[in-house]
Amino acid sequence: MSDAASDEPRWEWRIFGADLALLEAQLGYPLDAPHRSDEIYLVNSATPHSAKIRDGALEVKRLLRVDGDGLELWRPAFRAEFPFSADQLARAAAALALPSPPLRAQTYERGDFFSEIVARCRALRPIAVRKSRRRYAFRGCAAEAVRVQIGAVPLCSVAVESADAARLREALRALGADARLNVNFPKGVERAAALAA
């Protein structure tokens, strides 16, 4: 969720629903206007990691651990804009926990990435996602409220994150959301895509 450049691991909690307006209202005033984007999530049935293509760049986050309360610790593992160098393509494959493809060229456009990486892995499924996102600060944590369109399925999502798990738990208690099931974005996208099929 974070737009920060830091590679520091962060604890995250997220929920999906048809209407989360009451939960979003508790976050207070947004930090900015809604940001709209068309993204492609690369859902991997073999790993829990998160990968997406947004604004011409591939971003990969790796799930490091899940604590006893269901909070998830994520770390950015890769980010680069297309076109990739051969080295970047190899590093992208490693971040996705996939074998490195044969490196036949010096540069790789987005289409090359799909043919060399995505098409070769049966576990990877590209899913188009349209988002409208607003960012918040809540109880010392970063938060966001997102409206998502996956095929014909509209969804809402609210997320809160922090490098400090105790601070995140405190924020979730203040929201009255600490007992609700944490569903990360790749899982939410995968479930919505199944409904849209």
Please report the DSSP string for 62-77 in residue order: EEEEE-TTS-EEEEEE
Q: Tell me, yes or no, whether 28 lies in a domain.
A: yes
CATH number of the domain at 96, please. 2.40.320
Tell me what pLDDT residue 67 has: 96
Q: Exposure of 82 by Cβ count < 10 A (0-12 exposed, 13-18 middle, 19+ buried)?
A: middle
Alpha carbons 146 and 161: distance in angstroms, whole number: 14
Q: Tell me, yes or no, whether 3 lies in a domain.
A: no
Q: Tell me, yes or no, whether 118 lies in a domain.
A: yes
Q: Which residues form the domain of 95? A: 10-196
Q: Tell me, yes or no, whether 4 lies in a domain.
A: no
Q: Tell me, yes or no, whether 77 lies in a domain.
A: yes
β-partners of residue 52 are: 41, 59
Q: Which residue, 192, 186, 157, 188, is CA-closest to 45?
A: 186
Pull the structure tokens for residue 159. Answer: 């997320």
89: left (phi over 0), alpha (psi -120 to 50) or beta: alpha
| Sign of the four-CA dihedral 114, 41, 89, 93 | negative
Alpha carbons 37 and 131: distance in angstroms, whole number: 5
Tell me what pLDDT residue 4 has: 44
Tell me what pLDDT residue 5 has: 47
Tell me what pLDDT residue 180 has: 87
Q: Tell me, yes or no, whether 152 lies in a domain.
A: yes
C-beta neighbour count of 91 within 10 angstroms = 17
Q: Tell me, yes or no, whether 180 lies in a domain.
A: yes
Q: Tell me, yes or no, whether 5 lies in a domain.
A: no
Give the number of domains in the chain: 1
Alpha carbons 133 and 155: distance in angstroms, whole number: 12
Q: Is residue 16 a contact partner of residue 157, using CB atoms and an 8 Å limit?
A: yes
Structure pTM? 0.92
Alpha carbons 163 and 34: distance in angstroms, whole number: 24
Per-residue pLDDT of the chain (197 residues; tens, 9 = 90+): 654 446 899 999 999 999 999 999 999 999 999 999 999 999 999 999 999 999 999 999 999 999 999 999 999 999 999 999 999 999 999 999 998 888 889 999 999 999 999 999 999 999 999 999 999 999 999 999 999 999 999 999 999 999 999 999 999 999 999 888 999 999 999 999 998 87
